[in-house]
Structure 1
Amino acid sequence: MIRPRWEWALDDDAGTPLAAALSPAFTTQFDAEEWLGEHWRALASAGAAQARLLHDGTQATPTVELRKP
């Protein structure tokens, strides 16, 4: 059985993908979103400005902005 693959692609302020910017792979969208919720501050500190959730390589949700308040 092939499981779905969910992962985050991270971009900088200019929309350029960050080097090695994919998150771990997840088997559910919920797990992927929970991971981003736990790690977005560290990702933003590392230069990520936006995150795109990919489902088997295709963007599945609108882009999420990673802005520190």
Structure 2
Amino acid sequence: MAYRWRYLNETGNETAGPDETFADQPEAEEWLTDTWPELLDQGIDSVTLLDAEAEVYGPMSLHEQT
């Protein structure tokens, strides 16, 4: 299966984001670790990791915890 991210805006609605797919969960998570600031700048507030169409986890906020 292919892993990908579902992108959500501040109201929790799905929004457009990079159309990236990954061979496995660690690869998807590494990509997110490297790109989350840019996603936040694009108006993406949270993400959900998908394996094909099945939710692995999320939604997970991209905002830093204080």
Alignment gaps of 5+ in structure 1: none
* Conserved? CA contact 1:9–1:22, under 8 Å: no
Look up the match of 2:23. 27
Look up the match of 2:11. 14
Aligned residues: 65
Give every structure 1 segment of 4 or more consecutive aligned residues whose post-TM-superposition deviation is greater than 6 Å.
Answer: none
> 1:68 Cα shift?
4.8
Tell me the TM-score normalized by structure 1.
0.84
Please provide the CA RMSD for this pair.
1.5
Percent pairwise identity:
25
CA radius of gyration, larger in: 1
Tell me the TM-score normalized by structure 2.
0.88
1:29-63 alpha-carbon deviations (Å, 9 max, x no partner):
00000000000000001000000000011111132
